[in-house]
Amino acid sequence: MAAKPPIVIAVDGPAASGKGTVARAIAAHFGLPHMDTGLLYRAVALTLFRFGGEFDNEFEAVRACANIGQIDMVDPELRSEVVGSIASRISVYAGVRQALIERQRNFAGQAGGAVLDGRDIGTVIAPDADAKLFVTASPEVRAQRRLAELEGRGIKAHFDELLADIHARDARDTGRETAPLVQADDALLLDTSALDRDQASASAIALVEAKLAGR
Ligand code: CDP
């Protein structure tokens, strides 16, 4: 029997848009491995935070990229707000992005294919992906989701502060020179503002299936 051709699926979008949820659902549906590329940037951030280093210094951030092997990728601190905020700052550096490219491209290039989610998967990491989704939601909905997520973990937070943080991250993600967050020309848009997790996942799978059927 001939091996099935690899399927590469790119999922991009801003913070708390639901891209991680839909990427995991797509991966489970198609039986593909999944990489949350935000975790790589978070690992660099946690390395700086834990082992010392200036967050606003590109040289030190690039040096930290070589040491992310020391981070346990299931460490809950990777998901913390402070680490997310540092990740957002160090991810503007071209040197940091370059240092993390190979790992992501190797993952995308594995036999059988893969699903990757991030900010620049469809534009930079896997521009030839078989299907690309750009997942979005209004800033208010995204801030509300963050609030619910934090409260669910027993962490107190304020909606206004979370909304301001979402706006700041969007500005950094879309405004940076290297690999800014932008919908690829051939990416399908999925607005999850009015969708719950299951509806968003089902819509995403349907979009990808339709796209693959037309290959
Ligand atoms: O959803 P959230 O933005 O909180 O976190 P994430 O997806 O884990 O990404 C953490 C940070 O890394 C984001 O603020 C992005 O600026 C950055 N990132 C990136 O620049 N490129 C990627 N492919 C993934 C994440």
pLDDT in tens, 55-76: 889 999 999 999 999 999 999 9
Is residue 17 within 8 Å of 136, Cβ to Cβ? yes
Q: Is the CB of 84 under 6 A from ligand 1?
A: yes
DSSP letters, 37-89, are: THHHHHHHHHHHHHH---TT-HHHHHHHHTTGGGS-TT-GGGGSHHHHHHHHH
Q: Could you tell which of 77, 117, 119, 120 is best to mutate to test the pocket of ligand 1, judged by most ligand atoms within 8 Å of the CB?
A: 119
Q: Ligand 1 mean position to 213 CA, how many Å?
A: 30
The model's pLDDT over 130-184, given as tens digits with 9 standing for 90+, comes to: 999 999 999 999 999 999 999 998 989 999 999 999 999 999 999 989 999 999 9
208: Cβ contacts below 8 Å, ≥ 6 apart:
9, 26, 30, 131, 133
Q: Say yes or no to pLDDT of 9 above 80.
A: yes
Letter for the amino acid at 66?
A
Q: Is the CB of 38 under 6 A from ligand 1?
A: yes
pLDDT for the residue 52:
82
Q: Say yes or no to pLDDT of 1 above 70.
A: no
Confidence band of 53 (pLDDT split at 50, 70, 90):
confident
The model's pLDDT over 13-50, given as tens digits with 9 standing for 90+, comes to: 999 999 999 999 999 999 999 999 999 999 999 999 99
Residue with tokens 């549906």: 29
pLDDT for the residue 89:
93
pLDDT for the residue 58:
95
Q: What are phi and psi of 192, to 5 degrees?
A: -100, 10
Q: Say yes or no to pLDDT of 98 above 80.
A: yes
Is residue 97 within 8 Å of 179, Cβ to Cβ? yes
pLDDT for the residue 144:
97
Dihedral angle computed from the Cα positions of residues 11, 12, 15 and 21, in that order, rounded to the nearest 10 degrees: -10
Confidence band of 4 (pLDDT split at 50, 70, 90):
confident
Give the span between the Cα atoms of 30 and 169, in whole angstroms: 31
146-155, Cβ contacts within 8 angstroms, sequence gap of 24 or more? 146/15, 146/16, 149/16, 150/81, 155/81
Confidence band of 94 (pLDDT split at 50, 70, 90):
very high
Burial of 55 (0-12, 13-18, 19+ CB in 10 A): middle
Q: Say yes or no to pLDDT of 3 above 80.
A: no
Helical packing angle, 19-30 and 197-213, nearest 10°: 50
Q: Say yes or no to pLDDT of 2 above 70.
A: no
50-54, 107-111, 211-215: which is most confident: 107-111
Taking alpha carbons only, the member of 199, 205, 76 closest to residue 149 is 76
Q: Is the CB of 91 under 6 A from ligand 1?
A: yes
